[in-house]
Amino acid sequence: GAGVSQTPSNKVTEKGKYVELRCDPISGHTALYWYRQSLGQGPEFLIYFQGTGAADDSGLPNDRFFAVRPEGSVSTLKIQRTERGDSAVYLCASSLTGGRWFFGPGTRLTVL
Amino acid sequence: DAKTTQPPSMDCAEGRAANLPCNHSTISGNEYVYWYRQIHSQGPQYIIHGLKNNETNEMASLIITEDRKSSTLILPHATLRDTAVYYCIVITTRGGANSKLTFGKGITLSVRP
């Protein structure tokens, strides 16, 4: 079956613009995670959904970052008023009640 | 979740075994040891996990010390495609807020021809 997919694979935007990053988890996986990875660092946790609700959003850096998962499957990470420091690879993972986490290939965001 | 300590890098020759160490001296009794790897420009990939017994699968073996304070990931016959960053993570796998993976910097394994 298909793994976790993320779109777009690359996104270039200008400082101050709004962006949306999409994650399609493995079908049936109830848990969905967003991570951010800067060059040379390990992935950094942003937010975790269990079903439709955000169970833990403690990793969101500020209120410019927001994520939704309205039907408990696809999730969108939204970044308002992008800054150059937001440039990173954004990773999505899904899991079936923990145990194993499956990661997507990531979206590389570049803010000019 | 308990923290882990890994050396920053190591290398090994192609075809030889790669032994990647990890220290997790504060691990709790209900925490598992997970290993993930990340090949350049890809998302992290699951390798193996264990609680206290040694584990083996088609990718690797995981050796956990009896006191569970450290473990070793063994790639029995390393290939050039095994060049990657390897992350050792300890975590409970209950649902809820404790079920997120927390990554450190990992260990960069370079397999040389």
* Chain A neighbors of B97, CB-CB under 8 A: 48, 55-56
**Residue pLDDT, tens place only, B30-73:** 899 999 999 998 999 999 999 999 999 999 999 999 999 999 99
Closest CA to B90 of B40, B52, B43, B54: B52
Cβ atoms of B109 and B61 within 8 Å: the answer is no
Cα-based distances in Å from A23 to A16, A27, A53, B25: 23, 12, 15, 36
Contact partners, residue B67, CB within 8 Å, separation at least 6? none
CA angle A47, A50, A54 (to 5 degrees): 45
Which residues lie closer than 8 Å to A112 by C-beta, 6 or more apart?
A12, A13, A14, A15, A84
Cα–Cα distance measured from residue A54 to residue A39, given in angstroms and rounded to the nearest whole number: 27
Is residue B97 pLDDT above 50, yes or no? no
Tokens of B97: 């807020």
Q: Is B90 helix (H, G, I), strand (E, B) or coil?
A: strand
pLDDT recorded at residue A112? 96
The pLDDT confidence band at residue B100, using thresholds 50, 70 and 90, is confident
pLDDT tens by residue, B73-84: 999 999 999 999
Query: Buried b / exposed e across A17-54, counting CB within 10 Å, b at 16+?
Result: eebebebbbbeebbbbbbbbbeeeebbbbbbbbbeeeb
Question: Is it the case that residue B86 has pLDDT exceeding 50?
Answer: yes
Rounded Cα distance between A83 and A14, Å, is: 8
- Closest residue in B to A90 (Cα) is B43
Question: What residues in chain B have their Cβ under 8 A from chain A's Cβ atoms?
Answer: 36, 42-46, 49, 85, 87, 93-97, 99-106
Average pLDDT over residues A25-36: 94
CB contacts < 8 A, A to B, total 56
Residue A102: list chain B partners with CB under 8 A: 46
Instruction: Identify the closest residue of chain B to A89 by CA–CA distance.
Output: B41
A4 has a pLDDT exceeding 80? yes
Tell me the residue ranges of DSSP E strands in A8-52. Answer: 10-13, 19-24, 31-37, 44-50
**pLDDT band (50, 70, 90) for residue A104:** very high
Residues belonging to chain B: 113
